[in-house]
A = this chain, B = another copy of it.
Amino acid sequence: MNLPSGFKFSGVSCGIKASGKKDIALITSDVPAVAAGVYTQNVVRAASIDWNRQITPTDHLSAIIVNSGNANACTGEEGFRNNQKMAFETANAIDCTSGQVCIMSTGVIGQQLPMDLVAKGIKRAGNELGSGDSDFDSACEAILTTDKGTKTAFRSFEFEGETVRLAGMAKGAGMIGPNMATMLGIVVTDASLTPPVAQDILKRVADKSFNCISVEGHTSTNDSLVLMANGQSPAPMKHWKALHAFTDSLTELCVELATQIPADGEGASHLISIKVSGAENDADADTVARSVAMSNLVKTAVAGADPNWGRITSAAGLTSVRFEPDELCLSINGSSIFEKGQPVAFDEQKLSQSMAENFEAKVEIRIGSGAGEAMHWTSDLNEAYVKFNSLYTT
> Contact residues of A with B, CB < 8 Å?
41-45, 74-76, 109-110, 175, 178-180, 216-221, 294-297, 300-301, 303-304, 306-311, 313-318, 321-323, 325-326, 328, 338, 341-343, 352, 381-383, 385-387, 389-394
Contact = CB atoms under 8 A, between A and B. Distances in A.
Nearest to A302: B390
Contacts of A178: 310
Contacts of A321: 43
A381 B309 contact: no
A210 to B, nearest CB: 15
A159 B41 CA distance: 51
A220 B314 contact: yes
Given A310-B394, A394-B306, A389 B76 contact: no
Contact of A387 (B110, B383, B391, B393): B383
Contact of A45 (B45, B325, B385, B391): B325
B309 A110 contact: yes
A217 B46 CA distance: 29
B295 A218 contact: yes
Given A218-B311, A382-B386, A385-B386, 6 more contacts: A44-B341, A110-B310, A110-B342, A216-B296, A297-B389, A386-B386
A336 to B, nearest CB: 14
Given A218-B295, A314-B179, A300 B342 contact: no
Contact of A386 (B295, B342, B383): B383
B219 A180 contact: no
Contacts of A385: 386
Nearest to A380: B390
The 8 closest A-B pairs by CB, nearest first: A179-B310, A304-B390, A44-B317, A300-B389, A43-B317, A303-B390, A110-B343, A300-B390
28 contacts: A43-B316, A43-B321, A44-B317, A74-B310, A74-B341, A74-B342, A76-B342, A179-B314, A180-B311, A180-B314, A216-B295, A216-B296, A217-B294, A217-B295, A217-B296, A218-B311, A218-B314, A219-B318, A300-B389, A301-B390, A303-B386, A304-B389, A304-B393, A306-B390, A309-B394, A383-B387, A383-B390, A385-B386
A132 to B, nearest CB: 37
B179 A381 contact: no
A392 B42 CA distance: 36
A179 B311 contact: yes
A313 B390 contact: no
Nearest to A175: B297
Nearest to A320: B41
Contacts of A301: 389-390
Contact of A296 (B296, B306, B343): B296
A49 to B, nearest CB: 11
B383 A180 contact: no
Contacts of A318: 41-43, 217-219
Contacts of A315: 218
Q: Which of A216, A317, A342, A390 has the most CB of B within 10 A?
A: A390
A369 to B, nearest CB: 16
A44 B325 contact: yes
A63 B43 CA distance: 50
B391 A304 contact: yes
Contact of A390 (B45, B180, B381): B381
A341 B80 CA distance: 13
B180 A310 contact: yes
A314 B42 contact: yes
